Chains A and B, each alone.
Chain A
Amino acid sequence: GDSVTQMEGPVTLSEEAFLTINCTYTATGYPSLFWYVQYPGEGLQLLLKATKADDKGSNKGFEATYRKETTSFHLEKGSVQVSDSAVYFCALTPLSSGSARQLTFGSGTQLTVLP
């Protein structure tokens, strides 16, 4: 079945450091790929998405590129802030789900940014 493998955390960085959180996936066909963020005590919010190979999703300084050849969707940010501290989830929607849009999630990566 479909699966998402995320870089294990937790990750601790100093403010203004460069962030990479690795994500690889296994799926048939051409899934849509997502990054969600969960701030403490809150639900998940969509951070960015990409729906086809070579698409780059971006939002709030975060970027991720859909790499079909390496089945990856790594999250990057050039300069993190304390307010970026959260749990980040990589996820996919398989093409076969049609309109149902069930999400398959990675295990999540806890990011802590220190001032």
Chain B
Amino acid sequence: DADVTQTPRNRITKTGKRIMLECSQTKGHDRMYWYRQDPGLGLRLIYYSFDVKDINKGEISDGYSVSRQAQAKFSLSLESAIPNQTALYFCATSDFQGTFFGQGTRLTVV
């Protein structure tokens, strides 16, 4: 099993719908992250969490919210999806050894 698991792997949703992307990890790390990948832009940080009670906005948090339900779980929500949120979303965890990514969720908003 993967150390960082994202669900779903693919999702198509309609404009205006609320959608949640889920992430769970078995690495025991306190730090978790959500990134968004767009062609030609690399990955950009949406939110990050130092521990269950510490949530921080990243570079592009507008239109997104997160919930850290437990050390191992960090979910990303789009309150009202819009087409320019179509992207590949990555969850990640980190410790002193490095950052570890999930396999990504491809989200399409139509």
Write the residues of chain A forming the contact surface with B, with a CB cutoff of 8 angstroms. Answer: 4, 6, 34, 41-46, 49, 89, 99-108
Contact = CB atoms under 8 A, between A and B. Distances in A.
Contacts of A106: 42
Contacts, number: 49
Contact of B58 (A34, A43, A46, A102): A102
Given A89-B43, A103-B45, A107-B42, A43 B50 contact: no
A44 B56 CA distance: 22
A27 B41 CA distance: 18
A105 B100 CA distance: 14
Interface in B68-110: 90, 94, 98-104
Given A99-B31, A102-B45, 10 more contacts: A4-B42, A43-B90, A46-B100, A89-B42, A89-B43, A100-B48, A100-B56, A101-B94, A103-B45, A106-B42
